[in-house]
Structure 1
Amino acid sequence: MHGIATRFYGKRAIIGSDHLIFEDEGIPKTEELNETIGSLESEVAESMIYLEIDNQVAGIISIYDPLKVEEKQANHNLNTLGMTKVVMLTGNCDSAAKAVAHELDLDDYRASVLPEDKAAYIKMLKDHGHTVIMVGDGINDTPALSTADVSISMQDSSDLARELADITLVSSNLNELVILRRLAMNLFERIHANYRFIVAFNSSLIGLGALGLMSPNTTSLLHNGSTFAIAASCTRNYL
């Protein structure tokens, strides 16, 4: 959806995006209007909503959401933990998206994208053999969340986003993504280590028992003891 239309004192009024006002509605951009838009974009307005009344632009709402302190550090940490590419998909204007991507040192960005465009981009990445993790919080992110291999929603996400996401974090701090990544990596490392130990240890017990160097009671005791020891070790803090 690009905007909404209503009646204002008998005149047709529309509040919507650049695409709706200037392309669908065909409202011309005057030199003065271009200067105003350029000025707002230079101030890194993330998105602009236009008010059209009776086929004329009557106002512009400029929206800016300042970056959080932890966002750049979180992106850096994710890269060091094996994330090969971090991409921002946003419906905001290109100039604002470019500035944010530069500030956060992102690998790539896509601006002025619709919900279905986000899902299509993720599908394209998957078709090229990539494993895709999608982090989203709004209703407009739900198609992309459904398409990704792993979907994550934050604490302040919409109900629908939390419902569709594979993982819902209990915080809106992006550093929680770093902690989640470390937990996953450490968990898989522990699983593989335990598997290698179990195979080696039980194979040794079978071999010693087959050679008559250890009684069945002793091998059973050692086997069960190792099981309890591994289970106890798995209760340690993975971080």
Structure 2
Amino acid sequence: MKKRITIFLTLVLVIIFTNNSYATFTTGKGKHTFKVDNFNADTRISLQSFLIGLGISENSSINFKLTMADGEDSDGSDPNMNFLVPSYDGYSDETEYNLSGPILDISYQYIPRHDLFVTPNSLNAVQIGLKTYEGEVFDQAGTNTVDLNKTYLTFGLLSRSRWEKRNLFSNIEIAYDPREKGGWVLDSQVGMEFKIIDNFRAHLSYRAIGSSIESKQGFAFGIKVDY
């Protein structure tokens, strides 16, 4: 995983400094976007993300996002992340899934040139991508029963207003693997973005992530810069 992340970051940096890209749904008024985000899944778990958005054309972009889990269970062990996996062999109320590395998302966004997607007051985009992460399943005794690595195809719909100083936004994404029983993970949020100064913006939202096993809800906040 570390080797793949190093290669990934190297490629992203090469693209950033060589690509003469356009402003799009993700990148706002700049050619590129950097965004940090923190989602408080519950009182003991938070997901911290770093996103890089690169405009490809006036209505399409590609996004790279790394997400790390932070927190611990009441006994001091790594947090139970069952809400991120739809199912796994041997699952019960006494087993738990722990991440062993970051979550990697690579997605492509597209704004169709249609009145349903582009209006004077709003922009709407569709998204497709891949989500991958590595982890381990532990039983109640703390024994590692299986290494569980996941890769999902993701589909999303995003919407935001087109105001100057603040914007309402919402998005919904489903990650799916047809080979699994109940093989879906749903990630959705709704919130507001505020202009801080120039090309810096902050956002506050309510987010929910859930699978057929478990779900988590809470507030998320973040900052992004377009340039």
TM-score computed with the length of structure 2 as normaliser: 0.22
Relative to its length, the structure with more helix (as a share) is 1
Higher relative contact order (CA 8 A, sep 6+): 2
Look at both structures and tell me which one has the larger radius of gyration over its CA atoms: 1
Relative to its length, the structure with more strand (as a share) is 2
